[in-house]
Homo-oligomer: A and B are copies of this chain.
Amino acid sequence: MTVTNGYEQSDREQKLDFINVNDLEKEAEKIIPKGGFGYIRGGSEDEWTLRENTLAFNHAQIIPRALTDMENPSTDTEAFGLHFKTPLMMAPTAAQGLAHAKGETDTARGVAAAGALMAQSTYSSTSIADTAAAANGAPQFFQLYMSKDWDFNHHLLDEAKKAGIKGIILTLDAPVDGFREDDMRNHFQFPIPMANLTEYSEGDGAGKGIGEIYAAAAQKIGPKDIERIAEYTDLPVIAKGIMSPEDALKAIGAGAAGVYVSNHGGRQLNGGPASFDVLPSIAAAVNHQVPIIFDSGVRRGSHVFKALASGADLVAFGRPAIYGLALGGAEGVQGVFEHLNAELKIDMQLAGTKTIADVQHAKLAHFPA
Protein backbone atom coordinates (compact mmCIF):
# COMPACT_ATOMS: atom_id res chain seq x y z
CA MET A 1 0.00 0.00 0.00
CA THR A 2 1.16 3.52 -0.80
CA VAL A 3 0.06 6.45 1.32
CA THR A 4 -0.22 9.82 -0.46
CA ASN A 5 -1.40 12.83 1.52
CA GLY A 6 -2.86 10.39 4.02
CA TYR A 7 -4.80 8.50 1.33
CA GLU A 8 -4.12 4.77 1.08
CA GLN A 9 -3.51 3.70 -2.50
CA SER A 10 -3.48 0.09 -3.63
CA ASP A 11 -0.27 -1.06 -5.26
CA ARG A 12 -1.38 -4.59 -6.10
CA GLU A 13 -0.09 -6.04 -9.32
CA GLN A 14 -1.69 -9.40 -10.04
CA LYS A 15 -3.86 -11.41 -12.38
CA LEU A 16 -7.42 -11.47 -11.06
CA ASP A 17 -9.63 -14.49 -10.65
CA PHE A 18 -13.26 -13.38 -10.93
CA ILE A 19 -16.58 -14.52 -12.30
CA ASN A 20 -18.04 -11.25 -13.52
CA VAL A 21 -17.21 -7.57 -13.31
CA ASN A 22 -20.05 -6.84 -10.92
CA ASP A 23 -18.28 -8.97 -8.35
CA LEU A 24 -15.25 -6.71 -8.66
CA GLU A 25 -17.14 -3.71 -7.30
CA LYS A 26 -17.66 -5.40 -3.96
CA GLU A 27 -14.02 -6.44 -3.77
CA ALA A 28 -12.76 -3.02 -4.80
CA GLU A 29 -14.91 -1.34 -2.15
CA LYS A 30 -12.88 -3.21 0.46
CA ILE A 31 -9.56 -1.71 -0.57
CA ILE A 32 -10.35 1.74 -1.97
CA PRO A 33 -10.77 4.35 0.79
CA LYS A 34 -14.39 5.41 1.26
CA GLY A 35 -14.09 8.87 -0.27
CA GLY A 36 -12.31 7.60 -3.34
CA PHE A 37 -14.72 4.72 -3.77
CA GLY A 38 -17.70 7.06 -3.46
CA TYR A 39 -16.23 9.33 -6.13
CA ILE A 40 -15.63 6.41 -8.48
CA ARG A 41 -18.90 4.52 -7.99
CA GLY A 42 -21.31 7.36 -7.38
CA GLY A 43 -23.79 9.01 -9.68
CA SER A 44 -25.74 12.20 -9.34
CA GLU A 45 -28.74 12.80 -7.06
CA ASP A 46 -30.62 9.58 -6.33
CA GLU A 47 -28.86 7.76 -9.17
CA TRP A 48 -31.96 6.95 -11.21
CA THR A 49 -30.08 7.55 -14.44
CA LEU A 50 -27.06 5.58 -13.22
CA ARG A 51 -29.24 2.57 -12.52
CA GLU A 52 -31.30 3.03 -15.67
CA ASN A 53 -28.10 3.04 -17.75
CA THR A 54 -27.61 -0.64 -17.01
CA LEU A 55 -31.27 -1.63 -16.73
CA ALA A 56 -32.01 -0.15 -20.14
CA PHE A 57 -30.00 -2.89 -21.84
CA ASN A 58 -32.95 -5.13 -20.94
CA HIS A 59 -35.14 -2.99 -23.21
CA ALA A 60 -33.58 -4.86 -26.14
CA GLN A 61 -32.65 -8.49 -26.55
CA ILE A 62 -30.10 -10.32 -28.66
CA ILE A 63 -31.70 -12.91 -30.90
CA PRO A 64 -29.89 -16.24 -30.75
CA ARG A 65 -29.24 -17.44 -34.29
CA ALA A 66 -28.93 -20.97 -35.58
CA LEU A 67 -27.54 -22.67 -38.69
CA THR A 68 -25.03 -19.89 -39.14
CA ASP A 69 -22.21 -22.15 -40.26
CA MET A 70 -19.63 -20.08 -38.44
CA GLU A 71 -17.04 -20.44 -35.71
CA ASN A 72 -14.27 -18.44 -34.12
CA PRO A 73 -15.82 -14.99 -34.16
CA SER A 74 -13.31 -12.21 -34.11
CA THR A 75 -13.57 -9.02 -32.11
CA ASP A 76 -10.93 -7.27 -34.19
CA THR A 77 -12.16 -3.94 -35.36
CA GLU A 78 -11.19 -0.63 -36.78
CA ALA A 79 -12.26 2.89 -35.94
CA PHE A 80 -10.73 6.31 -36.56
CA GLY A 81 -8.28 4.59 -38.90
CA LEU A 82 -6.87 2.51 -36.05
CA HIS A 83 -6.94 -1.25 -35.50
CA PHE A 84 -8.04 -2.78 -32.20
CA LYS A 85 -8.33 -6.31 -30.90
CA THR A 86 -11.65 -5.41 -29.33
CA PRO A 87 -14.40 -2.81 -29.68
CA LEU A 88 -14.06 -2.25 -25.94
CA MET A 89 -12.49 1.03 -24.96
CA MET A 90 -11.26 2.63 -21.78
CA ALA A 91 -13.52 5.59 -21.04
CA PRO A 92 -11.69 8.74 -19.96
CA THR A 93 -11.84 8.53 -16.18
CA ALA A 94 -10.38 11.09 -13.80
CA ALA A 95 -8.03 10.64 -10.88
CA GLN A 96 -7.17 6.97 -11.15
CA GLY A 97 -4.64 7.45 -8.38
CA LEU A 98 -7.67 7.10 -6.13
CA ALA A 99 -7.70 3.41 -7.07
CA HIS A 100 -4.02 2.62 -7.48
CA ALA A 101 -0.65 4.18 -6.80
CA LYS A 102 0.40 3.72 -10.41
CA GLY A 103 -2.82 5.32 -11.62
CA GLU A 104 -3.28 5.81 -15.35
CA THR A 105 0.08 4.34 -16.26
CA ASP A 106 -1.07 0.93 -15.08
CA THR A 107 -4.40 1.38 -16.80
CA ALA A 108 -2.62 2.27 -20.01
CA ARG A 109 -0.46 -0.83 -19.77
CA GLY A 110 -3.45 -3.08 -19.14
CA VAL A 111 -5.55 -1.56 -21.90
CA ALA A 112 -2.68 -1.81 -24.38
CA ALA A 113 -2.12 -5.44 -23.46
CA ALA A 114 -5.78 -6.09 -24.20
CA GLY A 115 -5.45 -4.42 -27.59
CA ALA A 116 -8.02 -1.77 -26.75
CA LEU A 117 -8.17 1.99 -27.06
CA MET A 118 -7.22 4.04 -24.00
CA ALA A 119 -8.54 7.51 -23.34
CA GLN A 120 -6.70 9.72 -20.87
CA SER A 121 -8.55 12.27 -18.80
CA THR A 122 -7.45 15.86 -18.28
CA TYR A 123 -7.77 15.21 -14.57
CA SER A 124 -5.46 12.19 -14.60
CA SER A 125 -3.23 11.38 -11.69
CA THR A 126 -0.35 10.75 -14.05
CA SER A 127 0.78 13.06 -16.82
CA ILE A 128 -0.11 12.82 -20.49
CA ALA A 129 3.47 11.93 -21.31
CA ASP A 130 3.82 9.28 -18.63
CA THR A 131 0.51 7.65 -19.42
CA ALA A 132 1.29 7.66 -23.12
CA ALA A 133 4.73 6.17 -22.54
CA ALA A 134 3.22 3.34 -20.51
CA ALA A 135 1.18 2.20 -23.49
CA ASN A 136 4.29 1.24 -25.37
CA GLY A 137 3.07 2.55 -28.68
CA ALA A 138 -0.57 1.51 -28.41
CA PRO A 139 -2.92 4.27 -29.54
CA GLN A 140 -4.48 6.61 -27.00
CA PHE A 141 -6.96 9.44 -27.07
CA PHE A 142 -6.83 12.43 -24.77
CA GLN A 143 -9.96 13.80 -23.21
CA LEU A 144 -10.09 17.53 -22.68
CA TYR A 145 -12.06 19.23 -19.96
CA MET A 146 -11.88 22.61 -21.62
CA SER A 147 -10.52 25.30 -19.30
CA LYS A 148 -11.55 28.91 -19.35
CA ASP A 149 -7.83 29.52 -19.82
CA TRP A 150 -6.94 28.81 -23.43
CA ASP A 151 -3.25 28.88 -22.62
CA PHE A 152 -3.87 25.88 -20.43
CA ASN A 153 -5.92 24.21 -23.15
CA HIS A 154 -3.11 24.82 -25.63
CA HIS A 155 -0.59 23.47 -23.16
CA LEU A 156 -2.61 20.27 -22.74
CA LEU A 157 -3.12 19.85 -26.46
CA ASP A 158 0.60 20.47 -27.08
CA GLU A 159 1.43 17.80 -24.53
CA ALA A 160 -1.02 15.44 -26.17
CA LYS A 161 0.46 16.02 -29.59
CA LYS A 162 3.97 15.55 -28.22
CA ALA A 163 2.92 12.29 -26.59
CA GLY A 164 1.56 10.94 -29.88
CA ILE A 165 -2.09 11.07 -28.88
CA LYS A 166 -4.30 10.03 -31.81
CA GLY A 167 -7.51 11.87 -31.02
CA ILE A 168 -9.01 14.51 -28.75
CA ILE A 169 -12.21 13.74 -26.90
CA LEU A 170 -13.89 17.01 -26.00
CA THR A 171 -16.20 16.59 -23.03
CA LEU A 172 -19.39 18.57 -23.51
CA ASP A 173 -21.64 17.33 -20.73
CA ALA A 174 -19.78 18.68 -17.73
CA PRO A 175 -19.94 22.46 -17.78
CA VAL A 176 -20.93 22.11 -14.11
CA ASP A 177 -20.45 19.12 -11.90
CA GLY A 178 -23.38 16.79 -11.36
CA PHE A 179 -24.97 16.74 -7.95
CA ARG A 180 -23.10 13.74 -6.53
CA GLU A 181 -24.38 13.03 -3.07
CA ASP A 182 -21.80 10.46 -2.08
CA ASP A 183 -19.08 13.07 -2.52
CA MET A 184 -21.06 15.46 -0.34
CA ARG A 185 -21.73 12.90 2.35
CA ASN A 186 -18.05 11.99 2.34
CA HIS A 187 -16.92 15.63 2.17
CA PHE A 188 -14.72 14.33 -0.59
CA GLN A 189 -11.67 16.27 -1.71
CA PHE A 190 -9.11 14.96 -4.16
CA PRO A 191 -6.16 13.78 -2.06
CA ILE A 192 -3.96 12.96 -5.04
CA PRO A 193 -2.46 15.67 -7.26
CA MET A 194 -3.65 15.83 -10.87
CA ALA A 195 -0.48 15.64 -12.88
CA ASN A 196 -1.61 17.75 -15.82
CA LEU A 197 -2.58 20.54 -13.44
CA THR A 198 0.62 20.26 -11.44
CA GLU A 199 2.66 20.77 -14.55
CA TYR A 200 0.85 23.97 -15.28
CA SER A 201 0.39 27.01 -13.11
CA GLU A 202 -3.14 26.51 -11.83
CA GLY A 203 -2.57 24.29 -8.80
CA ASP A 204 -2.36 20.53 -8.67
CA GLY A 205 -5.92 19.69 -7.78
CA ALA A 206 -5.06 17.99 -4.51
CA GLY A 207 -7.14 19.11 -1.57
CA LYS A 208 -9.87 20.46 -3.82
CA GLY A 209 -13.46 19.40 -4.02
CA ILE A 210 -14.81 18.53 -7.42
CA GLY A 211 -16.75 21.81 -7.48
CA GLU A 212 -13.56 23.80 -7.31
CA ILE A 213 -11.97 21.76 -10.05
CA TYR A 214 -14.96 22.41 -12.28
CA ALA A 215 -14.88 26.10 -11.47
CA ALA A 216 -11.79 26.42 -13.62
CA ALA A 217 -13.49 24.57 -16.46
CA ALA A 218 -15.24 26.39 -19.27
CA GLN A 219 -18.99 26.42 -19.03
CA LYS A 220 -19.74 27.98 -22.41
CA ILE A 221 -18.77 25.40 -24.95
CA GLY A 222 -19.98 25.71 -28.49
CA PRO A 223 -19.38 24.42 -31.99
CA LYS A 224 -16.58 26.90 -32.51
CA ASP A 225 -14.57 25.13 -29.80
CA ILE A 226 -14.60 21.89 -31.77
CA GLU A 227 -13.31 23.79 -34.80
CA ARG A 228 -10.68 25.59 -32.79
CA ILE A 229 -9.29 22.41 -31.23
CA ALA A 230 -9.37 20.50 -34.49
CA GLU A 231 -7.50 23.30 -36.21
CA TYR A 232 -4.99 23.71 -33.40
CA THR A 233 -4.17 20.02 -33.13
CA ASP A 234 -4.94 18.68 -36.57
CA LEU A 235 -6.24 15.64 -34.72
CA PRO A 236 -9.70 14.09 -34.90
CA VAL A 237 -11.95 15.72 -32.32
CA ILE A 238 -14.64 13.50 -30.78
CA ALA A 239 -17.64 15.23 -29.21
CA LYS A 240 -18.39 13.50 -25.88
CA GLY A 241 -21.67 13.71 -24.02
CA ILE A 242 -23.99 13.69 -27.04
CA MET A 243 -27.47 12.52 -26.07
CA SER A 244 -29.62 13.73 -28.97
CA PRO A 245 -29.61 13.48 -32.75
CA GLU A 246 -29.66 17.28 -32.96
CA ASP A 247 -26.44 17.65 -31.03
CA ALA A 248 -24.76 14.83 -32.93
CA LEU A 249 -25.41 16.66 -36.18
CA LYS A 250 -24.34 19.96 -34.65
CA ALA A 251 -21.03 18.40 -33.62
CA ILE A 252 -20.45 16.86 -37.03
CA GLY A 253 -21.35 20.18 -38.63
CA ALA A 254 -18.64 21.80 -36.54
CA GLY A 255 -16.08 19.29 -37.73
CA ALA A 256 -16.26 16.58 -35.10
CA ALA A 257 -14.59 13.41 -36.33
CA GLY A 258 -16.57 11.27 -33.92
CA VAL A 259 -19.67 11.31 -31.75
CA TYR A 260 -19.41 9.97 -28.21
CA VAL A 261 -22.84 9.03 -26.82
CA SER A 262 -22.70 9.17 -23.04
CA ASN A 263 -24.46 10.60 -20.05
CA HIS A 264 -21.21 10.51 -18.15
CA GLY A 265 -22.10 7.25 -16.48
CA GLY A 266 -25.05 8.80 -14.68
CA ARG A 267 -22.73 11.28 -12.95
CA GLN A 268 -24.07 14.48 -14.47
CA LEU A 269 -27.75 15.06 -15.27
CA ASN A 270 -29.90 12.74 -13.18
CA GLY A 271 -33.39 12.32 -14.58
CA GLY A 272 -32.08 12.07 -18.11
CA PRO A 273 -32.51 8.97 -20.24
CA ALA A 274 -30.22 5.95 -20.25
CA SER A 275 -27.56 6.35 -22.90
CA PHE A 276 -28.58 3.05 -24.46
CA ASP A 277 -32.12 4.31 -24.96
CA VAL A 278 -31.02 7.31 -27.05
CA LEU A 279 -28.34 5.51 -29.05
CA PRO A 280 -30.51 4.22 -31.93
CA SER A 281 -31.94 7.62 -32.83
CA ILE A 282 -28.49 9.19 -32.73
CA ALA A 283 -27.00 6.44 -34.88
CA ALA A 284 -29.79 6.94 -37.39
CA ALA A 285 -29.04 10.66 -37.58
CA VAL A 286 -25.26 10.20 -37.78
CA ASN A 287 -25.79 7.61 -40.50
CA HIS A 288 -22.15 6.48 -40.59
CA GLN A 289 -20.74 9.94 -41.33
CA VAL A 290 -18.36 9.49 -38.37
CA PRO A 291 -17.72 6.70 -35.85
CA ILE A 292 -19.79 6.53 -32.68
CA ILE A 293 -18.31 5.77 -29.28
CA PHE A 294 -20.78 4.69 -26.61
CA ASP A 295 -20.54 4.41 -22.84
CA SER A 296 -22.70 4.32 -19.68
CA GLY A 297 -23.71 1.26 -17.74
CA VAL A 298 -21.75 -1.39 -19.66
CA ARG A 299 -21.13 -4.38 -17.39
CA ARG A 300 -21.59 -7.40 -19.65
CA GLY A 301 -20.50 -8.68 -23.02
CA SER A 302 -24.18 -8.66 -23.96
CA HIS A 303 -24.31 -4.92 -23.23
CA VAL A 304 -21.40 -4.41 -25.61
CA PHE A 305 -23.18 -6.48 -28.25
CA LYS A 306 -26.41 -4.52 -27.85
CA ALA A 307 -24.61 -1.18 -28.07
CA LEU A 308 -22.77 -2.25 -31.22
CA ALA A 309 -26.02 -3.54 -32.72
CA SER A 310 -27.61 -0.18 -31.91
CA GLY A 311 -25.03 1.86 -33.79
CA ALA A 312 -21.87 2.09 -31.69
CA ASP A 313 -18.40 1.50 -33.17
CA LEU A 314 -16.52 1.43 -29.88
CA VAL A 315 -18.03 0.67 -26.49
CA ALA A 316 -16.35 2.24 -23.51
CA PHE A 317 -16.64 1.75 -19.77
CA GLY A 318 -14.87 3.16 -16.78
CA ARG A 319 -15.78 1.84 -13.36
CA PRO A 320 -15.16 -1.90 -13.98
CA ALA A 321 -11.68 -1.13 -15.26
CA ILE A 322 -10.95 1.08 -12.27
CA TYR A 323 -12.01 -1.72 -9.95
CA GLY A 324 -9.70 -4.06 -11.84
CA LEU A 325 -6.94 -1.46 -11.49
CA ALA A 326 -7.40 -1.27 -7.74
CA LEU A 327 -7.43 -5.02 -7.33
CA GLY A 328 -4.70 -5.99 -9.75
CA GLY A 329 -2.97 -3.03 -11.35
CA ALA A 330 -2.22 -3.34 -15.06
CA GLU A 331 -3.00 -7.04 -15.07
CA GLY A 332 -6.27 -6.34 -13.33
CA VAL A 333 -7.27 -3.85 -16.02
CA GLN A 334 -6.23 -6.23 -18.75
CA GLY A 335 -8.25 -8.99 -17.10
CA VAL A 336 -11.41 -6.88 -17.06
CA PHE A 337 -11.06 -6.08 -20.74
CA GLU A 338 -10.36 -9.67 -21.64
CA HIS A 339 -13.22 -10.92 -19.51
CA LEU A 340 -15.79 -8.66 -21.14
CA ASN A 341 -14.34 -9.46 -24.53
CA ALA A 342 -14.67 -13.18 -23.81
CA GLU A 343 -18.31 -12.68 -22.83
CA LEU A 344 -18.79 -10.72 -26.04
CA LYS A 345 -17.25 -13.51 -28.10
CA ILE A 346 -19.67 -16.07 -26.66
CA ASP A 347 -22.55 -13.77 -27.51
CA MET A 348 -21.18 -13.28 -31.01
CA GLN A 349 -21.00 -17.02 -31.63
CA LEU A 350 -24.48 -17.60 -30.20
CA ALA A 351 -25.90 -14.72 -32.23
CA GLY A 352 -24.25 -15.97 -35.40
CA THR A 353 -22.08 -12.91 -35.86
CA LYS A 354 -18.55 -13.60 -36.99
CA THR A 355 -17.26 -10.04 -37.02
CA ILE A 356 -17.92 -6.77 -35.28
CA ALA A 357 -19.46 -5.58 -38.52
CA ASP A 358 -21.87 -8.54 -38.34
CA VAL A 359 -22.80 -7.53 -34.81
CA GLN A 360 -23.47 -4.02 -36.05
CA HIS A 361 -25.91 -5.44 -38.56
CA ALA A 362 -27.70 -7.71 -36.09
CA LYS A 363 -31.33 -6.85 -35.37
CA LEU A 364 -32.34 -6.74 -31.72
CA ALA A 365 -35.70 -7.81 -30.31
CA HIS A 366 -37.78 -5.56 -28.06
CA PHE A 367 -40.05 -7.49 -25.68
CA PRO A 368 -42.55 -7.11 -24.23
CA ALA A 369 -43.90 -5.39 -27.31
Contacts and interface: CB of A to CB of B under 8 A. Distances in A.
Interface string A166-200: 00000011011111010011000000000000000
A40 interface: no
B66 A242 contact: yes
A81 interface: no
A219 B274 CA distance: 35
A67 B226 contact: yes
A252 to B, nearest CB: 11
A26 interface: no
A224 B70 CA distance: 13
Contact of A272 (B46, B62, B66, B69): B62
B67 A239 contact: yes
Given A46-B300, A49-B61, A64-B243, 11 more contacts: A62-B272, A64-B268, A65-B243, A67-B239, A69-B221, A219-B349, A269-B346, A269-B351, A271-B347, A272-B365, A278-B365
Interface of A: 19-20, 22, 45-46, 48-49, 56-59, 61-72, 172-173, 175-179, 181, 184-185, 219-226, 239, 241-244, 247, 250-251, 254, 263, 268-274, 277-278, 300-303, 305-306, 343, 346-347, 349-351, 365, 367-368
